[in-house]
Amino acid sequence: GMHVLTRATPRPVAMSSGCETPSHRVFVYGTLKRGFYNHRLLREMDAKFLGEALTREPKRMVLGEYGIPYLMRGEADGSAVVPGELWEVDDEGLDALDVLEGIDEGMYER
């Protein structure tokens, strides 16, 4: 039969620099920004604030139901560069944002 080697000790997890953790930059606007009601999600996932940011291209922002802002793809009348914040999240954080995005708002493009 085949020999299966088992490790007696679990593999050490590097906690230090976090280079091993893939990080994702997300641009947030609307309810995830500091001071808004969904921002606690970013705080809970230890997201790293990278700074204020603007969209590269002008976008048209429209308010959907419940006053939730959406960015429309492509340029249109009333397009403007949209201010927001740049945050760095890990895989888990990105998953959490995916869940939120499905429920709540079109918040970012990957």
Instruction: Give the residue numbers marked as catalytic.
Output: 101
* CA dist., res. 2 & res. 48, Å (int): 46
| Strand, coil or helix: 26 | strand
The letter for the amino acid at 24 is H
Tokens of residue 6, six digits: 């088992």
